[in-house]
Structure 1
Amino acid sequence: MLISSVITAAGLNSRMKKSQIKKGISIKNKLLLPFPREDSEKTVIETTIDNILLSGVDECIVVLGHYAEDIKKILANITIDDDRVKIVENKHINVGLSYSLLNGLKHSSNDYVLCSAGDQPTISSKTYKNIIDSLFNLKNPENSVSILRREKYGILDSPDGLGMPFIANKNIFLDYLKEEDNNLNPIIRKVFRSGIEFYGVKEDSPIELININQHEDYKFILDNI
C-alpha cells in the first residue's frame, strides 16, 4: 500500500512569538529552532520530516505559508537529496490549519495519507509506523482513522482533544475541509459524528503528547527528551 504524508508548516507562530517577546528572547519561528539529538543538529521541522520519512511513507508533502522562504532555505538539502519530499505553498497565507491540510491532501498522489504538523519532532518514527499499521489492522481501514491518542486508546468513543498526527483515506476528509478555514478539531468532530471509526494509538513516550506552542514547551522538551 502506497502512503503519502502531509506536514502542515504554514502557521503564523503567534503563541511562540508572544512567549519569546515576554521572555526577552530573539523572535524565531518555532519550526526553525534547533532540535539537537545525539547524532543530529537539525531544526524542529527537519527532525519531524526525518521521523516521518523513517516510518516508510512513499511521499512527503510540506505545506508552507508564513515564513515560507525561511523554511525553504532550511529544507533545501532534504528536497535535493530525497525526491519523496515536495513543497507546496498556500495561495493565501492568513488561513486556518484546515486550509493548509486541504492543500496538502489535494497534492498527494496516494489515497492514504499520514497527516502531521511541522512542530511535532518528538513523535518517533516508531509511533508514526504504529499509527500506520494500526489503520490497516482494522476491519474497515477505508472508513477509519488511526490517530495518536490524547486520552483513551483503542476504539474511541469521543473525539475530544484529537488532532494530528493521524492517517486516513484522504476522501474521508476532503469534503469536510472544503470551504473551511478553521482549526482541525472541529472538523475531526464532524468526521467522528458521521460514523467514521477512530482508533487511538498509544504513544511510545509521554513526551510525544506535548505540543510545542510556547517557549516553555520547547525548553521542557529539550530538557527531557
Structure 2
Amino acid sequence: MTISTIITAAGKNSRMRKDQLSRNIELKNKLILPFKDKTVIETTIDNALSANVDECIVVLGHYANEIMEAIFDNYKGSVKFVINNPVDVGLSVSLYNGLSNIRSDFALCITADQPTVSTETFNRMIEIIENAEDPYKTISILRRRKTGILDTAEGLGMPFVAPRENLMKYLENENDNLNPILRKIFADGYTFYGVKEKNEKELLNINHYDDYLQLLD
C-alpha cells in the first residue's frame, strides 16, 4: 500500500487578513506566521513528512508567491509544489489537483493550517486504513464528535486518509467545501472511522488571529 500526503495551502486568508487589519498589525498570510521554530505551514509539512508516507504534495493558489518565497528553499528536494490554475477555486478543486499529481493508492489529506496535528495521529489514521477489511471503501478521519466507526459525516473535514481514485471520482467537477462531498461518500456506504486526537489542540484550525494565539500557548 502506497500513501502520499496532499497539503492544501491555497486559500484566500480572508478571515486572518480581516483580523490583522482590525488589530492594526502587519498583514501576513497565516501560513507563514511564526510557529514554534518555523512557520505554520512548515510545521504542518514536517509533521506530515515524519509520518509513514511516500511523498508530499503542497497545493498552492492565493498568495502562492509569498508562501513559496518563504519556504521553497527548505523543501525543494522533499516536497512537490502544485499551483492551482485558475487560483480562485474551492477546497475540493485544490484537493483534486493534488491527487492528480500522485500515483499512490491512498492519500493523507491535510490543510496547511493544521500545524498541531501530530505525526502520531497521522500514523494512526494510516494504520486504520492498512488494517481495514475493505480499505478502498474506508475513510479514516480526525474525529469531531465520536471515535471509531461513525454514523454520520456531519461536521467532518481534513485531515483524513482516503483511497485516491475513489476520492477523485467524487471531487471531479465539484467546486465546493469538503463536507458536502464527504457526506455524499458516506451516503454511498463507505465506512468512516473517527480517530481520537492526541490532544485538544489537534482539533483546531487557524482561521482567525485568536486561533493562532491560542495554539501558540
Normalised TM-score (structure 2)? 0.97
Could you say which residue in structure 1 is the equivalent of 2:162?
A: 168
Could you say which residue in structure 1 is the equivalent of 2:43?
A: 47
Shift of 1:70: 1.2
Could you say which residue in structure 1 is the equivalent of 2:127?
A: 133
Instruction: Tell me how far apart the structure 2 counterparts of residues 9 and 56 of structure 1 sit (CA, whole Å).
Output: 21
Hey, which bits of structure 1, 4+ residues long, moved more than 2 A?
A: 77-82
The equivalent position to 1:110 in structure 2, one of 92, 99, 104, is 104
Read off the aligned partner of 1:35 and give its amino acid letter. Answer: F
Q: Secondary structure at the match of 2:145?
A: coil
Indicate yes or no: 2:59 matched with 1:63: yes
Q: How many residues align?
A: 217
The equivalent position to 1:178 in structure 2, one of 135, 158, 172, is 172
Shift of 1:188: 0.5
Read off the aligned partner of 1:108 and give its amino acid letter. Answer: I
Read off the aligned partner of 2:43 and give its amino acid letter. Answer: T
Normalised TM-score (structure 1)? 0.94
Q: Secondary structure at the match of 2:72?
A: helix
Shift of 1:213: 0.5
Q: Percent identity?
A: 53
Q: Secondary structure at the match of 2:93?
A: helix
Indicate yes or no: 2:26 matched with 1:30: no
Q: Secondary structure at the match of 1:11?
A: coil
After superposition, what is the alpha-carbon deviation per residue over 1:56-91, rounded to whole angstroms, capped at 9, x for unaligned? Answer: 211100000011111112222333342xx1001111
Q: Secondary structure at the match of 1:107?
A: coil
Range moving further from structure 2, 172-181 or 117-126: 172-181
Q: Secondary structure at the match of 2:99?
A: helix
Shift of 1:129: 0.6
Instruction: Tell me how far apart the structure 1 counterparts of residues 195 and 16 of structure 2 sit (CA, whole Å).
Output: 28
After superposition, what is the alpha-carbon deviation per residue over 1:136-170, rounded to whole angstroms, capped at 9, x for unaligned? Answer: 12211111000000000100001111000000111
Indicate yes or no: 2:77 matched with 1:77: no
| Root mean square deviation of aligned Cα | 1.0
Shift of 1:19: 1.2
Instruction: Tell me how far apart the structure 2 counterparts of residues 126 and 18 of structure 1 sit (CA, whole Å).
Output: 34
Range moving further from structure 2, 171-180 or 155-164: 171-180
Instruction: Tell me how far apart the structure 2 counterparts of residues 150 and 118 of structure 1 sit (CA, whole Å).
Output: 18
Read off the aligned partner of 1:191 and give its amino acid letter. Answer: I
Instruction: Tell me how far apart the structure 2 counterparts of residues 173 and 142 of structure 1 sit (CA, whole Å).
Output: 10
After superposition, what is the alpha-carbon deviation per residue over 1:80-136, rounded to whole angstroms, capped at 9, x for unaligned? Answer: 342xx1001111111110010000001112111100001110001011111111111
Read off the aligned partner of 1:14 and give its amino acid letter. Answer: S
Read off the aligned partner of 2:92 and give its amino acid letter. Answer: S
Instruction: Tell me how far apart the structure 2 counterparts of residues 159 and 152 of structure 1 sit (CA, whole Å).
Output: 11
